Structure 1
Amino acid sequence: MKQRSVVSWTAMIMAYTRAEHYDQAIDLFLDMEEEGVKIDEFVITSVLHACACKGSSKDGQCIHEYALKNGMISNTSVANALMDMYAKCGNMEEARSVFHSTLNKNIISWNTLIGGYSKNGFPNDALHLFGNIPQRIRPNAITMACLLPAVASLSCLERGREIHAYVIRAGFVRNHQVENALVDMYVKCGALILARVLFDRIYEKNLVTWTVMIAGYGMHGYGADAIALFKQMRRKGIKPDKVSFVAILYACSHSGLIHEGWYFFNMMRNEYQIEPNLEHYACMVDLLSRAGRLKKAYEFINSMPIEPDSTVWGALLCGCRVYRDVNLAEKVAEKIFKLEPDNTGYYVLLANIYTEAEKWEEVKRLRERIGSRRLKKNPGCSWIETRGKVQVFVSGDNSHPQKEEIKKFVEDVMKRMKEEEQYVPNARYALMINADDRVKEEALCGHSEKLAIAFGILNSAYGRPIHVTKNLRICGDCHEFAKFVSKVTGREIVLRDSNRFHKFEEGRCSCRGYW
């Protein structure tokens, strides 16, 4: 072209971005600048979108500086594109800064920051921001689709129901994104039956709809239902993608369906020509490890055509803990420590393995290693929603106003467990080396999930299910505690940990001990 207008340049930047050639899109912007082409807000928003897709905060900051220098930052579209770029790059501080400095915020501005908070692990901030939307700005369907993942991550069922009611009143129920987000929210809040009812009511289900429900069955340990739904999806002519196969492999691994897991893994490669990524390999290692096939899992990792990451090795390390294979655990842990030297969780997992094997010298050495690296263990934290308020409990914390009632309830339950079921507190979960059994038992009484369950029983009407969420994996002692409480109180307890859902009813758990 002998004469290129700003429209020509913008069209090429957008085309490169759509084709996922983000570097070329950014280079083209720099060429524009060099040639002295007058740059408008459409160019800036287009190139910022390329930076967002690339995940390059560094390139985005350069564009931000250009917009500041040229007085374009007051344009709401430019400000929104900047927020979106920073949010997608994980830099929520800069996104928030741009948001607060934008004078003429529109609903896109609010949605962008709410969505950024949701995706980057700040669900409370997302909910707080939603509550501050001024009356003159009306939330739309995109607002709901951005907000619901925050509710899902917190597992706040009552809040989720409130938002669902708002969605119905506002007429957003036929929006695909909102429908899928609602199903996902109910799944992650432990209301699987409600999720399925809503799923069945969706008239036009897309791949995301099916995948969310399949993943939901997997999280709750209903592998057979996940497989039935996956087959139904294929019969409807919906072609599964990489994410769908992660969902079905995860479901197989959490239900011990080894043959079915291999079947779907081979189907993905042979029938759909989808090359497995690290998530698929991690699911297969988890599947083998949970079934006790540790040697086969180790060989499978070594035969992988791509370099395994800490998630893949971590799945095998969890299996080593379940089946108490100390020698293999040491080999696997060293590989993980090279990949993630500062991840405390893996050090704690190896410490648990040593503790269960009563290898106290190794536990001591490992703790010294943790101390020398100045690493800190994430404290166990559980929360429960009652009467519209979220109560948070941290392991060993005695600051709650009802601490005496909660402590008495836990101690009484553990006493009854000893008397009625010859229960012996599993002191290894206390992770204390130089402490007697009494001190260890007291430490077990203070585990956060026990405190949250006790609070729920004491502060909710008889017959209402207790929904508890925990940031870490539930320990074996607390698992037995929850089973017993469900039996003696006649209450349903739904506990979501970092790994999966556990539904306790009449002294039984939905995981069937397979967790």
Structure 2
Amino acid sequence: MIGFLSVQQEKARANYLAALLPFLPLLPSSSSRLPSLPAYRPTTQTSHLPSHPHRFRNHHDLTNAFQWNSLLRTRVHSGLFDSALSVFSSMLASGVRPDHFTLPLLARAALPGLSGVGEAVHSIAIQLGFVGDPYFCNSFIDYYARSEDIISARSLFEEMLVRDVVSWTTMISAYVQSGHVSASSRMFGEMRFSGIEPNSVTLAAVLRASEVERNADGGRQVHGFSIKRGFCGHELVQNSILTVYSKTGCFKEAGKLFDSIEERTVISWNILMSGYSSSGNFVKVVECFRLLMAAMYPSPQTLTLVISALTKPRDLRMGRQIHGYALKSGQIDAVLQAAFLDLYVKCADSSSSFAFLQEVASRTSWIVMMWAFVHSGEFTQAISLFQRMQIAGIEPNSDALRCLVASYTHLGALLLGKTIHGYLIRHHLTAEPDTEILETSILNMYAKCGSIVSARRCFNNMMCRDTVAWSSMIDGYAAHGMGLESMELFRRMQEAGIRPNSITFLSLLSSCSHSGLVDEGCEVFNSITENFGMKPELSHYTCMVDILARSGKITESLNLIHSMDVKPDGRIWGALLGSCRVYQNVDVGEYAARRLFELEPDNVGYHIVLSNVHVEGDRWAKAESIWKSMDGKELWGRPGGSCIEERGGFSSFVSSDFFGRR
């Protein structure tokens, strides 16, 4: 298929098209041939890409550009671009001159983002004199937009002598697609000033800009404009306005518009349900689904929306009913399969989950269920599922192995994690581009399982280190209290030209906190804004408060909390409360505890810490009253637990429990 073509193939095609340029002026108007025309040779011969078009049909019967274009269109739509180039070569050799439909067909098969083929086709068009043709120019504006080359798209637009509504609409869509929303609005204003009236597709593109910016006012303005111009009855415009209202939370306007639609389609229902689902109103999603079922048949996208909504309240009964309906109507696709699996796993319905896996027999479904177990904290279940996947004969990919590594990391299973690393090395998978994330996961596994030396060795052996890899190694040093090493690694990261993100600074501040590096922590915190132009997040403030409070600067920590432009949460007050216990600052400790009890009144841990603060300050009566209030509110802490690795398995136990293998 086109999406799996290599960069080398794309460059070879561009070179071939460029080689045709000297022959184009020789094209006659008659049917004489070009004997010296170069033949196209694919760089990679595959079983489904024939090397010569004569294997398909006899081209001597093709006498005009329309017939050749039909053959080209068939090859391009089938993903047979090598064959399409051979057809193009034969077309030129037969003496048939390409028309303005021919070259856009070739550019349509070029990979977006790769320079070469599209530019070569554009050069051929200039030689043939098609640069003034509106259809050709509109097609290439769209090509440059798909290639994220907005400058070339605008340049071609400016060179057009005649611009129709398609030209303006394509350019507006190009700006929206590239993220230049304000430019798309200006382009729409210029279009109206030039006297070109928009059509329904133009309004849909402008509404897409309002959707991207979450601009409800812009959507209302276009809604009013569509009513005045008589476009409000167009299905595309109606659904686009409905999307803007739903995505921006304007459900009152969305409801009125939805009720005014005379002929509602399943797309309109899906848009409204998707908006309710994004806002967390799952009751309205189910209500809309019941109304839809009474009026028409749902689509697989509709069923996916409902199943995702049922996952939140764990409505297993209705989920099974929809599953039965989907099986009877034959509407289950890969996305809906994943939604059903997610529902069954979160509802702890293991029997239905395994039965569903055996039914679909898809590797993607197995991996989805493994990740669902990991996200719900059922790490041993994820490992067991991986073993059952192997028994079923399903070959694991990098995503499945990464899920397994994540489970080993949470369980502290260093030896089993090493087996995955050995598997990668034995199968020479470390050189594959899609294993970079997996290598970073293995690095995290070594660091969190206590082997920081192996983590650094893994980091040094990585072929490509992105921001995530550098941040993970810095975080590993932070967890081991190696603050100076993390600061040195951050310096090397900057020298390598890798830009840090918010996670990188969080790991650095955590490292400074664990190592007692107060001055270095303050320097890192200030550099977030001064050197990198980023805004500190709440997690960064939490680490900075912890750094100051651990060094005894309780007052400075409290002042920093009060100076924040974000609302403090329980973690930042908890960091301050813990340090008040160490430095016996009862007054600030009580103040922090009051804020904590307002945010998390049922957290028994904060009550215990406050009691210890009073104990350190010899206020035994206060400490006793806190324990009595805990008994009165029936606040009980969860027992501590642990898990150890032994003999290739796991033994888990909780406080006051007998040691037993599980």
The verdict on a shared fold, with TM-score over 0.5 as the criterion, is yes
Residue of structure 1 equivalent to 2:507: 247
Output the amino acid matched with 1:127. I
Output the amino acid matched with 1:110. W
After TM superposition, the structure 1 = structure 2 runs for residues 94-173 of structure 1, keeping only pairs within 5 Å, are 99-100=353-354, 102=356, 103-133=359-389, 134-173=391-430
Shift of 1:281: 0.9
After TM superposition, the structure 1 = structure 2 runs for residues 277-356 of structure 1, keeping only pairs within 5 Å, are 277-356=537-616
User: Could you tell me which of 357, 360, 364 is aligned with 2:624?
Assistant: 364
Q: Note if 1:30 corresponds to 2:269.
A: yes
Q: 1:350 to 1:73 in 2, by over 3 A?
A: farther
In structure 1, distance between residues paired with 2:321 and 2:540: 41
The total of aligned residue pairs comes to 387
**Identity score, percent:** 29
Shift of 1:70: 4.9
User: Could you tell me which of 149, 168, 177 is aligned with 2:437?
Assistant: 177
Shift of 1:31: 5.3
In structure 1, distance between residues paired with 2:343 and 2:468: 26
Equivalent residues of 2:299, 2:331 under 8 A apart: no
Equivalent residues of 2:319, 2:343 under 8 A apart: no
In structure 1, distance between residues paired with 2:248 and 2:378: 31
SS at match of 2:525: helix
Equivalent residues of 1:351, 1:366 under 8 A apart: yes
Q: 1:330 to 1:111 in 2, by over 3 A?
A: same
Deviations 1:55-84 (A, max 9, x none): 994799999976764546872513443157
Q: Note if 1:374 corresponds to 2:630.
A: no
Q: 1:86 to 1:73 in 2, by over 3 A?
A: farther
In structure 2, distance between residues paired with 1:370 and 1:140: 50
Deviations 1:198-220 (A, max 9, x none): 00000111111111100000010
Residue of structure 1 equivalent to 2:521: 261
Deviations 1:366-406 (A, max 9, x none): 11221222221122334432333433454444x3489xxxx
Shift of 1:147: 1.7
Deviations 1:387-438 (A, max 9, x none): 33433454444x3489xxxxxxxxxxxxxxxxxxxxxxxxxxxxxxxxxxxx
Q: 1:107 to 1:136 in 2, by over 3 A?
A: same
Taking structure 1 as the reference length, the TM-score comes to 0.65
Instruction: Name whichever of 362-371 and 212-221 sits farther off.
Output: 362-371
SS at match of 1:132: helix
Instruction: Name whichever of 336-345 and 169-178 sits farther off.
Output: 169-178
Q: 1:96 to 1:249 in 2, by over 3 A?
A: farther
Shift of 1:232: 1.1
Equivalent residues of 2:373, 2:381 under 8 A apart: yes
User: Could you tell me which of 481, 484, 507 is aligned with 1:221?
Assistant: 481
Richer in helix (by share): 2
Q: 1:391 to 1:67 in 2, by over 3 A?
A: closer
Deviations 1:428-483 (A, max 9, x none): xxxxxxxxxxxxxxxxxxxxxxxxxxxxxxxxxxxxxxxxxxxxxxxxxxxxxxxx
Q: Note if 1:192 corresponds to 2:415.
A: no
Equivalent residues of 1:57, 1:85 under 8 A apart: no
Output the amino acid matched with 2:360. N
In the alignment, structure 1 segments of 5+ residues that lack a partner are 403-515
In structure 1, distance between residues paired with 2:533 and 2:360: 48
Shift of 1:162: 2.3
Q: 1:121 to 1:400 in 2, by over 3 A?
A: closer
Output the amino acid matched with 1:224. L
Q: 1:207 to 1:29 in 2, by over 3 A?
A: farther
SS at match of 1:109: helix
Equivalent residues of 2:529, 2:535 under 8 A apart: yes
In structure 1, distance between residues paired with 2:592 and 2:382: 38
The root-mean-square deviation of aligned C-alpha atoms, in Å, is 4.0
Q: 1:388 to 1:31 in 2, by over 3 A?
A: closer
Equivalent residues of 2:311, 2:346 under 8 A apart: no
Shift of 1:250: 0.9
Shift of 1:257: 1.2
Output the amino acid matched with 2:384. H
SS at match of 2:638: coil
SS at match of 1:177: helix
In structure 2, distance between residues paired with 1:85 and 1:16: 28
Deviations 1:271-306 (A, max 9, x none): 222222211111011111111111110111111111
Q: 1:372 to 1:301 in 2, by over 3 A?
A: same
Output the amino acid matched with 1:92. K
Equivalent residues of 2:300, 2:333 under 8 A apart: no
In structure 1, distance between residues paired with 2:440 and 2:245: 29
Deviations 1:298-324 (A, max 9, x none): 111111111100001011111112212
SS at match of 1:265: helix
Q: 1:84 to 1:16 in 2, by over 3 A?
A: farther
Taking structure 2 as the reference length, the TM-score comes to 0.52
Shift of 1:336: 0.4
SS at match of 2:347: helix
Q: 1:263 to 1:22 in 2, by over 3 A?
A: farther
Shift of 1:197: 0.2
- Give the number of the structure with larger relative contact order, counting CA–CA contacts within 8 Å between residues 6 or more apart: 1
User: Could you tell me which of 334, 346, 353 is aligned with 1:92?
Assistant: 346
Equivalent residues of 1:214, 1:229 under 8 A apart: yes
Equivalent residues of 1:17, 1:25 under 8 A apart: no
Equivalent residues of 1:379, 1:394 under 8 A apart: yes
In structure 2, distance between residues paired with 1:286 and 1:305: 18
In structure 2, distance between residues paired with 1:178 and 1:159: 15
SS at match of 1:391: strand
After TM superposition, the structure 1 = structure 2 runs for residues 437-448 of structure 1, keeping only pairs within 5 Å, are none
Larger Rg: 2
Shift of 1:122: 2.3
Deviations 1:31-76 (A, max 9, x none): 568798976546766x689x69xx9947999999767645468725
Equivalent residues of 2:342, 2:369 under 8 A apart: no
